[in-house]
Structures are given as structure tokens and as C-alpha cells.
A and B are shown apart, each in its own frame.
Chain A
């Protein structure tokens, strides 16, 4: 925990400059640690001269920020219209039966629906079979 505190302080210091620094600070922390620990809110607020409520409000407003570590691998499946038209509901149901899934709304891969992002890597034209093979490959 000590180490993590230190790295959060370093990250805040590196990104607090410049106008509107809160999102860049939060991104830096999540990119580095994988989430934004609840006990870092006070420190962020102090450094940016904000209230803890403001920082908490921002973290919870945006779907992308999380206060808990994510499951590994992080599976995000697109649930928007284009992917729906190509069977994303079936893919989602299948994925949910094998792992933790986060719905997202559009990855910009719509001409090759259905699409997903797994640990930050894009995949398109997915089927339940193809999805399983990708997870197996990641696990091995």
C-alpha cells in the first residue's frame, strides 16, 4: 500500500499542472494502477484544490473510471445497435456465462460487428466460438 501511495502522489504531481487537470490525473492513476483507489480521492482533491465530493462525483459520473480493480482479462462487449444487428446479444449472453463482461456502447468497429475490446485489444466479427478461442489464447 505504501508503494501505491507513493506512486499516486507521483502521478498527481506529474499531471496536476495545466487547466482542467482532473481527468488527466484520474486517467494517469487508472492507467498505472488499473483503478482509482477510494482512499486516493482525498489526496487528489487536495492537490487540485477541489472537494472530495467533486472528485468522487467525477469518478462516478464517467463509465470509464472504476474504483475497484477489474477482472482479468477485462472484457468489454459492444451492445449498441450495429452489433445488435449482427448478434451481439447472443455473444453477450455467451460471454457472461464464462467471464465478467462490461457492456460498452460502440467501439467504432461497426462495419465488422459484433465487436469487443479485451484487455485494450480490439476484436471484430466475433462469434461465441471465436470469443472462446481468444480467451483460451490469453489464458495460455
Chain B
């Protein structure tokens, strides 16, 4: 019997030397005449432990990490290929607190399976959602997704089933499903992990979406910063097609759907759905006015269901286990789970899929173990570069779309970036404006000009040039951007800026009441 050893192929694991570890394992095993079956799995999402190597034992998978190529000889010396004890041994993977306390529905397979093995996928409930969906009329699939309470995981949190219903009821000779995989929010990597670690889940979700709305062609718009995700999808799609899960006759049903990966080109604003459509059509990523809704007039003017990777990859489990199963997770109007991505200055960063209702404090300390620097955590930005900074007084609020909205914060795509007490929130607010200036598509004035003026105003505040006046101006400017921008780029840049100013006035040279320091 060969020893089965898992070394992740996730790009964050690669960035930490996983390929070198894999080669060292193969080499050392050959030297010792130990038969080894090397599996390149996705990442379990515990990045402080990457590269994390697992071996199959009779009790389950045993984890070792973080492993470097130089550790491999020592690992073999202790017989790690059969679960031997070594300083790097972490115990059984499934019993690690970080994983055990999660509720992995969307990420159920990520890190467990070989991402490109269709057999692995089928052996872990893969395609059971599609098998159910294919027997349903379109309306029933839409109802199931609506019932589940699934809302758009890209950040806008619009109910997925309602969007699909609009596309289903639109009359057209051609409809599309487009997956928005332009995951540009800094601090987020769930889409990347899913595409690299379980590509068939996305393919299956898109196929179900196509059956639901009556589309025959799909596109996955993936950012150019994700070459490994693009490569994985481009390998998975033909495998799925050859096995009859895509193409002219899906599972013998006579129904047709096919998929193409389109590579983006580094424009953050193309994560906005209408800018993405422009880009897919071969133009600059300039935001379109709405209405018309893309659901009625989207890609090439045809009705288009646009969903984020995580929304689509969640659809299979909903169809496999039923709407009720999914909606039993979560709280209020936020049903199901959200894959949180914990990053920045944090000891144990990674992917944490939890039902809505978990608190930021639990994520930061129970999972994250506090800051990486060992210094106190000062501010946490939730929801990407357009999300608010949260001070400690807000860390016990349940992570739920409505609860967050009540404190003028957003969950967005689930990104959490931690800053310790060395962070200067005035500089981060300036950065938010600067990022908007760099990435604005330029179509609307509040965003295009407002962001440039915002940087200037922030510079004056930082340099203490008529500070109180400039702060008043910043409020004015932010109000214009909030209310006058065409999309979230300009419309939400005030979130990080004003939340930083409100909660950390001292960094802006103001006292706690928001007045200027003497």
C-alpha cells in the first residue's frame, strides 16, 4: 500500500513553498524506496500553517505544518507517512479547532479533494445538486434558491433567487450566466480558493443557474492576478464537458450549456457588474447606468444572471440538500453561511466559513489568536477596501447584513483586514481616497474628481493646514460621493474614510469629540 500524502496546490501554499515541499517528498520517498501517492489538494485555509502537509492514517488525515523542504528528511525519519510523531505534527486535521468550529457548506470539499479529480468530486456529494435540478422545471429551481435565503456573496447581498426569477421571466432568444470572479477586494481570497480548490462546484452551480434561467452560454470573468485559478478552471471545464456535465446534452437531458473563462486585466472597477459586462464585450470597463438591469439587458444586450463565485458555488449544496437545510443556518434575513477571510496583521489568518451571527471578536481571537505582531488590535476593516473600519466597541455585534448596516458598516464579500495599534487611520483614509482615484472608471464626477480632491483634503488634514475646515470639507465631499456616484466605487469609498474619522479622530489630529486638538 502506498502512503497517501497531500500537499496543497493553492497559490497561497505555492507562495510559501508548497511545490518545493512536494518535490522534496517525492525525492526523499524514492531515496528510501517508500511508495507514495502524492495528492495535490486545495488548501484547508489555515495559512499560518501552510505549506500544510497531510497524510492518510487509519484514524483520518494527520496534519503537519508549516513544512519547508528542509523538514522533509526529518519527517520521513519519524515515519510521518504513516502518521508518525514529529514536532510539526498538528494532530488529526478534522480535530483542529480552526476547522472543527467552522460550518463548511460552500467550502465542504476545499482542501479535502484533488481539485481536478471528477471522481473525488462525485465521491463528496458533487453533482447531486445538478441531478436534482435537472429533473425540476426552471421555476422550481428558482423557488428552491429563493427559499434558501441565499443572497449575493459578492457584497451587494441581493437575493439570488429574485435575480434569477427576473432573468427566467425575460423573453429572449439568448440568455447568459456570468460569474463575477473579479475578486479585487483586498483582504479577500475566497473566490480564488474555491476556483483553485473545488472548480467543479462553481461549474455545477453555473450549470444549475443556466437551467434555472434558461441560459445556454456562461462566462467566468476571472481577474488576471489569479493565473492559477484560471489554469485550474481551464483544465476542469473540458473534463466536465467530456463527462457530459457541460455541452449539448447535459446528463442526457437534451439541455445545453457551455462555459468559457475570460481573463480580466487588472481594473478593480470591473468587479462592478456593468463594468464587467463592458469588459466582456471588449471595451473599457466603464460603468453603465441602471436601469436597464443586467437581468433584463445584460451581456450583449441579453438577459444575464450575474453572480459571484461564492453565490454560484453555494447553489449545488442547496439543490442537493434542499432550501430548508441551508436556511437553517444563519440569523434574521442573513441565511446560511459566509466564508469569512481573515487577513492582515493576524496570527492565524485564513478562511473561516461560519453561519451569519458569529461576532468579529470570535473571529479575531478564537480563530485568529490576536494580532501577528502581538500588539493590541486597533481597527478592523470588514468588507474590502470600500468597507468601514470597526473599533473594538463594535466587535461584539453579530455579523449579519442588517446588523452591520445599522452601524454603517458592510459585510461585503467577507474580507476582514486587521490592523494593530501602529496603524494610522488617517493614512488609511487617505489610501482609500487614493485607491478610488487610481481605480475610478471616470464616468461619474463624484468618483472621478471627488477621490482626487479627497486625497488633497486628506493631505491637508495630515499636514494640519486649516484642519477643522478641511474636516468639514471632507464630510461634504463624502456626502456628494455617497449620494452622487453611479456605483459602489465612489459611492462606498466614504465608508472607510468617514468610519476612520468617526472612530479614530485622534489619528486625524482631532480630539474624541471630533474637535481639533489644541
Contact = CB atoms under 8 A, between A and B. Distances in A.
Interface of A: 18-24, 26-27, 48, 54, 57-58, 61-65, 78, 80-86, 104-113, 115, 117, 120-125
A85 B344 contact: yes
Interface of B is mostly: mixed
Contacts of B158: none
B343 A23 contact: no
Contacts of A58: 282-284
A123 to B, nearest CB: 5
Interface in B402-436: 415, 417-420, 423, 428, 431, 435
Given A81-B381, A110-B343, A23 B263 contact: yes
Contact of A110 (B266, B349, B419, B428): B349
Contacts of A63: 265-267
Contacts of A106: 184-188, 225
B282 A22 contact: yes
Contacts of A54: 283
Chain B, interface residues (CB within 8 Å), range: 35 or more
Contact of B225 (A48, A65, A81, A108): A108
Contact of A23 (B228, B262, B349): B262
Instruction: Report, nearest first, the 8 A-B pairs whose CB atoms are least far apart.
Output: A80-B186, A111-B349, A22-B282, A110-B343, A64-B266, A62-B265, A122-B15, A124-B15
A109 B134 CA distance: 37
Interface of B: 11-12, 14-16, 45, 47-48, 50, 183-189, 191-192, 224-228, 260, 262-268, 279-285, 300, 341-346, 349-351, 372, 381, 385, 415, 417-420, 423, 428, 431, 435, 438-439
Given A23-B262, A61-B284, A105 B268 contact: yes
Given A61-B267, A82-B417, A105-B435, A111 B262 contact: no
Contacts of A83: 186
17 contacts: A18-B260, A23-B264, A23-B282, A26-B265, A58-B283, A62-B265, A64-B224, A78-B186, A80-B187, A83-B186, A85-B419, A85-B420, A86-B345, A104-B266, A110-B187, A111-B342, A112-B48
A108 B188 contact: yes
A53 to B, nearest CB: 11
A113 B343 contact: yes
Contacts of B431: 81, 84
Given A58-B284, A110-B186, A110-B188, A81 B227 contact: no
Contacts of B281: 19-20
Contacts of A123: 15
B265 A108 contact: no
